Structure 1
Amino acid sequence: MLGRVQASALFVVLAVGLAPQAARGDPALTYLESLKGSSERYKAPSELDGRYTVALYVNAAGSGPWRQRMWVLHRDAVGGAWRLGMWDEEHWRKAKLAEGEAPSYSWPVSTGRYYRGDPFSGPTPTGVFALDERKWRYGRGYTAPGMIHTMYIDFHYDNGRRSGVAFHGTLPGRYRRLGSIDSHGCIRMKQKNAASLFDRITGRDKALPLDMRWGDVPRFWMSERGQNRAGYTRDGTSHPAETLVADLSPMETGATTASDAGLPSVLTKTGFRAIAVIFEN
C-alpha cells in the first residue's frame, strides 16, 4: 500500500511525526525546487498556480541519478505548501531508509522512446500539462492492451491530434524495466501505484475532499470546438482572461474565467486539480 493520509486524525498524527523531517528539509521538494529556471518548460512547485493541489512530476531523462523517477506532491489547502503526498512503501522498504529519513521520490517509472514500425511511439513530451477531465480520457481497469488505470494529459498537437500520452499501470512482465526508458510515450508504473494515483485524483480513496481534487483550474488551451481544443501552451503559462476573442462563441472558447483571492485572472476549465510537469534532468 502507498503512504497516504486517510483521515483527519491520522493526518494530525502524521503531521506531528513529520515535523522533524520538515525542519531538515524535504529531499523531494529540495530537488524539484533546485531545477527552477532550468528550462522554459519546467515549473518548480513554488511556481505552480495555487488552484492546483496535486502535482505529478516526472523526470524523463535516460541518465543521471534522478532518471525515470516520479513525484506525487500534495497541498493540504488551495494555495498551501507542497509536500510529497504518495510513495510506494514496498519500494522504499527495500531501499532501507535510515530512521527518520524521508523518501526522495514516489516511485520509478518508464517514459517513451521510438519503436521501429510504430509511427506514434517516441520520447515522452516535456512540458506542463493539466490532466484531461473528459470522461473518455481516463478510466479504471484496462483501457487498452497493456494500459491499466489510465489518465491522459490534456494536450492536442498543432495538427489537432489529441495526445496519446497517459499515466498508467503496465504489465508485471515490464516491471523490471521501470527506472529506464521503455514505453511508447506514456508514463508507465506498477499497477498498484497507478491504481492508487487514479483513486487519489478521482476521489475513489476519499483521501481528499471534493473541493481539493475538482474545481476551476487554469487551462493551457485557448479555444474548444466539439472535442477539439487548440492554442495550447507547454510552459505552464495560462491564457489571461482578457485574451478571449470577442467573435468566438462560448462553445468555441470554452469561455470560463476565474480570479480567486490573490490569484491571477486567467482562462480556466472545471476539472481535476492535478497538474503534470514532465522534464529531463
Structure 2
Amino acid sequence: MDEFERHGIGVVTGRDACARALRSAELTSDPGGGSPSVLLRDGEDHTRLRAVLREIIAGLEPVPADLRTSIETTVTGLGTSFDLVRGFARPVAGAVTSALLGVPLDDVFLDHLEATTANLDVFGGVDRAGQASAFRLAVQLSRTPAGPGGLTALREAHAAGRLDEDELMFTPVVLAHAAYENSLNFLAGAGLQLATSGPRTVRELVTAICPARYVLRFGPDGPVAISLADGLPFGLGRHACPGSGVAVAEGEIALAALAKVLAVGCRVGEVRWKTHPVFHGPERAVVTLASGDG
C-alpha cells in the first residue's frame, strides 16, 4: 500500500467497499490516451473488444481432451524433486495459453510474457523493460502463422471490422498475459498450499489465493487501486474476469494431478515470493517427495 501511495494512487480495501468500487459508474478503467488494451477501456470500445475475447475463451469451455491429457502428463512426469513454479505452474499455464492462442509458445516467449506489465501498468509507464517485452511479443505474434485458436480469431475479427490495427497488434499480448501470469501465480501458490497444508478443493484455494491483488481504476479524485484479495479473485462488474471458468477448470485438472503426486508425502524448501505490488505468487518453491529423500 505504501508503494501505491508513493505514486499518488489511493487504495480501496474491504470486500463491501471493493465490490461497490468495482461496480461504480464513477470509476473507469480508462486513464485516457486511447490505449488499445481492453483492460484500459470502458464503454462501447470495451464491450466490443470483450465480446471478441469471450468468443475466443469459449473455445476452451470445456477444456479440450488433448489439453487435459497434456496437463496431466506434465504433472505426473514431475519426478521426485521439482520447483512448483518452473516445473509445475509454468508448463501448465504455458500449455493453456498456447491452446488459447492456437500457437506454440517457447521458453523465450514465456520469459518475455512474465516480464510484461500488460495487465496493470501500475506506475504510469515507468517500467520500460516490461513495455519493451510487451512490444516485442506483439510484433512476434503479428508475424506468427496461426492455426485454429485465438490468434486466428483475432485476425478474422480485424478483417470483419471488429478490431482496428492497434487492437489487433496488442490484444494477443494482453490475452496471453492475463491467461498466463495469473494462472502461473495461482497454480504455484495453490501447489504450495497442497504441499504444506494438505488437500483442499480448488474452490477453497481460489478464494484463499489471489494472484492479481489489485486492479486500477480512475475517478474524479485520481487513480485508485481496488483490492481483489478480500474474496473477489475474479473481480466484479463489467471488467470481471471473462476467463474465470477456464481458470477454475485448469486448476481442477492440474491440482488434482498434483495432489496424487504429493500423496506419498513431501518436504518443501527454498521458498521465495515475488515482490510485485500487484501480481502475487511464489518465485521459487522446491518440493522433494518422500520417495526421493534417499
TM range (shorter): under 0.3
Q: TM-score, normalised by structure 2?
A: 0.25
Bigger RCO of structures 1 and 2 (CA < 8 A, at least 6 apart): 2
Tell me which protein shows more helix as a share of its residues: 2
Tell me which protein shows more strand as a share of its residues: 1
